[in-house]
Amino acid sequence: MSGFSRFTPLVNGLPSTVPFVGPEAIERQRGLAVRARIGANESGFGPAPSVLAAIGRQAGETWMYNDPENFELREALALHHGVSRDNIAVGCGIDGLLGEIVRMVIEPGAAVVTSLGGYPTFNYHVNGYGGRLVTVPYVNDREDLDGLLEAARREDAPLVYLANPDNPMGSWWDADSVTAFARALPDRSLLILDEAYCETAPAGSTPSIDALIGLPNVLRMRTFSKAYGLAGARVGYAIATLGNAQAFDKIRNHFGMARISTVAALAALGDRAYLEDVVGRIAAARDRIAGIARKNGLTPLPSATNFVAIDAGGDGTHARAIVDGLMEHGVFIRMPGVAPLNRCIRVSVGPSAELDLFEEALPKVLRAAR
């Protein structure tokens, strides 16, 4: 039938794409092997040995579905944060939860406020459910709290997104500023406070749980993908008021969590010594990346995350040449996608051997780019 489509007009109008091109796709497309995987903000230090041991002990149980209520993990997270387990919603990484939030809140055409150049996966979900993105430029490489607040009020936006610390710039706001921002938002505006990098952030940058737990317009997002080293396990969670946390039960995939991922998350949560150790290694690797940048005449930006954004001293074309040039040496990194942030390259922390490759390749690539 001429002109027939089995898909909705919304889906027909969307591009077939992914928010990030993975290193595996780059390897396939360019015929190059990734030798240093320091671009996706994973933890090359990996999970704790205790986590790997727990996975090994219970790998044989993979034939079973996970508990659809995620009871044990929610209970452990509740004890960890000093809240009720009914304040916790578990999902397939923050990315999966973001999609569920947009589905719950946004009707076609509704305004969603976020930062211009902020986390692309959130934008992907907004577009996928027909929301209307309203973007606010960064100021001094930080998300603009005043600008986001003004946009939320002007648009009467039902959803606002803020990452603290921020991806892709690594910048952050202090806890008092974030708390004041959350409290100043209109009652109608639900704040997604993405705290994926909170474990690596400096003291005083993350609001206490008590500071925001009573606000019905705040969802705090956490993950096991970064400092805990479990990006491939896909475990994230939201901390919220009882009504907001329990709303996920209306739409979530109740058997969406992998049983072995839950085992890994429980073991990771219980190994505080490893977390402290790896946070120290992340900080040391950030310092080394910053030093490599300075040695090559580039300017590293302050970072509260497990990556460093580096001002490459040009525009997006120059930064892209550096990213592509490093891949020729097997060094996978990324860059922000929107000007003026795309003057930067972004390098994730990793083991010394991978940073050695970055340090060796960078001056060669810079000479070619110049």
Domain assignment present for 2: no
What pLDDT score was predicted for residue 3?
Answer: 62
**In this structure, are strands 307-311 and 344-348 parallel, antiparallel, or unpaired?**
antiparallel
Encode pLDDT of 243-263 as tens digits.
999 999 999 999 999 999 999
Is the model's pLDDT at 2 over the cut of 60?
no
Predicted TM-score (pTM) of this structure: 0.96
Same domain, 242 and 209: yes
Closest CA to 89 of 251, 292, 307, 327: 251
Tell me if residue 221 falls in helix, strand or coil: strand
Same domain, 27 and 174: no
Q: For the domain that residue 282 is a member of, what is the CATH number?
A: 3.90.1150.10
What pLDDT score was predicted for residue 1?
Answer: 47
Is the model's pLDDT at 143 over the cut of 80?
yes
Same domain, 141 and 235: yes
Closest CA to 170 of 341, 359, 356, 350: 341
Last residue of a domain, one of 233, 255, 270: 270
Residue 307 domain boundaries: 18-46+273-369
What pLDDT score was predicted for residue 367?
Answer: 96
Same domain, 155 and 134: yes
Last residue of a domain, one of 270, 304, 320: 270
| Amino acid, single-letter form, for residue 178 | V
Encode pLDDT of 283-310 as tens digits.
999 999 999 999 999 999 999 999 999 9
Tally of CA atoms within 13 A in the half-sphere of 247 that contains its CB: 16
* Domains in the chain, number: 2
Same domain, 24 and 122: no
All residues at 6 or more sequence positions from 317 whose CB lies less than 8 Å from its CB, including other chains: none
Last residue of a domain, one of 270, 293, 309: 270
Q: For the domain that residue 89 is a member of, what is the CATH number?
A: 3.40.640.10
Tell me if residue 173 falls in helix, strand or coil: coil
Q: For all residues of the chain together, what is the average pLDDT?
A: 96
Helices (H) and strands (E) in the chain, counts: 14, 12
Mean pLDDT confidence for 100-110:
97
Tell me if residue 182 falls in helix, strand or coil: helix
Q: Where residue 67 falls among pLDDT bands split at 50, 70, 90?
A: very high
Mean pLDDT confidence for 51-63:
97
Percent of the chain with pLDDT over 70: 99
Encode pLDDT of 310-337 as tens digits.
999 999 999 999 999 999 999 999 999 9
Is the model's pLDDT at 18 over the cut of 90?
no
Domain assignment present for 250: yes
Is the model's pLDDT at 4 over the cut of 80?
no
Is the model's pLDDT at 238 over the cut of 50?
yes
